[in-house]
Amino acid sequence: MKKVLRWIGIGLGGVVGVLVISVLVISFMGARRLNRTYEVAVDAVPIPTDAAAVARGEHLATAVSGCNDCHLKDYSGELFFDDPAIGQIYATNLTAGQGGIGAAYTDEDWVRALTHGVSPDGRILMLMPSQYFRYYSDADLGAIIAYMKTIPPVDNETLLPQFTLMGRLLFALNALGEAPAEMIDHEGERSSAPPAGATAEYGELLVTVGTCKDCHSANLAGGRPGPNEPWGPNLTPGGRLASWTEADFVAVMREGKAPDRQLSEAMPWQSYRGMTDEELQAVWLYLSGLDALAAIEP
Ligand code: HEC
Ligand code: HEC
């Protein structure tokens, strides 16, 4: 009897040992992916300095791309993702104040971060939607960077991302999705943006650089940006928008007021309310012209 128990003990010990080793190996793989550095060839983007370009950049940064949603109104940054089991990710202080990146950043650093999702030292930027910002035209990218260079300095220390063993394990198993830098073809040419105007083509661009797909899924048929996040409903004519007028859509984007309800702030309409009439018309033209995909709402 004793002998049998001993064998069972050795067997269990073996299983536990294999499990522990697997966890360590997989989390090591996750750490390797997280620590991988990217050396990328950065496009030369002219950075204007005139007031009209800075104003254009401010509009795109605040009303379209929500830079100041994640990085805070004054761009001083804050803890953005915090899960004791997984880790912590700060949205960086983008100003030239103490603890911010603004003072040391060159024009090339701005272009690298915005179009490759990579920091000046080659580190992958977590949760920073560069896979979308890459679609901006050089002129608009230049305008955004011109504006970022004018924001007043604010002192605030924002830390580099920290992951727990579990976080590295989940990242290795792809349970946390890919980092933007991993989704980008760093060798490929950036595609050319359509001219601004009330067209479906420009609406498509606005939906991309407006990061709508982060929360409404890549095909816009509904999704969520991460586990436990609120559901972003179907935006194709397969969802509620099929019965809406353009005015209904504008009321959602400006006031968060849908025909059937008041939207929560999980939908960042308080940023999008600054979009121009022409921009909202373009987005409406694009969304209402999409194929009606079945609502996959849970
Ligand atoms: C969905 C939230 C989100 C939005 C929107 C967003 N960012 Fe970020 N950004 C982040 C996070 C989080 C980080 C930190 C990534 C890291 O340290 O791994 C970051 C990092 C950066 C960095 C790199 C800082 C460094 O460490 O070198 C720059 C530059 C930046 N953001 C600029 C912008 C600009 C400009 C916009 C708007 C065009 C913008 N961000 C929009 C979340 C966001
Ligand atoms: C940070 C996540 C997030 C982003 C980014 C986002 N949305 Fe949303 N959106 C939501 C959520 C969550 C809801 C549902 C809110 C509710 O029901 O209270 C929503 C609701 C909507 C609705 C109402 C749909 C319905 O069936 O009632 C529309 C329209 C919409 N979003 C359009 C957009 C557009 C266009 C963009 C990009 C320009 C965008 N959203 C970007 C999260 C997001």
Q: Average pLDDT for residues 121-129, to the nearest whole number?
A: 97
* Residue 201 clears pLDDT 90, i.e. is over it: yes
pLDDT tens digits, one per residue of 212-238: 999 999 999 999 888 788 999 999 999
For 88-92, which contacts have Cβ atoms below 8 Å and span 24 or more sequence positions?
A: 88/159, 88/161, 88/162, 89/126, 89/127, 89/161, 90/158, 90/159, 90/160, 90/161, 91/127, 91/128, 91/158, 92/158
Q: To the nearest whole percent, how much of the chain has pLDDT over 90?
A: 82
Pocket of ligand 2 (CB under 6 A): 207, 210-212, 214-216, 225, 230, 232-233, 235, 239-240, 252, 258, 263-264, 266-268, 272, 283
**pLDDT at 167 (0 to 100):** 93
* Residue 263 clears pLDDT 70, i.e. is over it: yes
Rounded to 5°, angle at Cα 160 from 157 and 162: 125
Q: Average pLDDT for residues 176-181, to the nearest whole number?
A: 93
**pLDDT at 11 (0 to 100):** 81
pLDDT tens digits, one per residue of 133-173: 999 999 999 999 999 999 999 999 999 999 999 999 999 99
Hey, which of 125, 131, 216, 270 would you mutate to test ligand 1's pocket, going by the most ligand atoms within 8 Å of its Cβ?
125
The answer to whether the beta carbons of residues 117 and 124 sit under 8 Å apart is yes
* Residue 30 clears pLDDT 90, i.e. is over it: no
The answer to whether the beta carbons of residues 51 and 143 sit under 8 Å apart is no
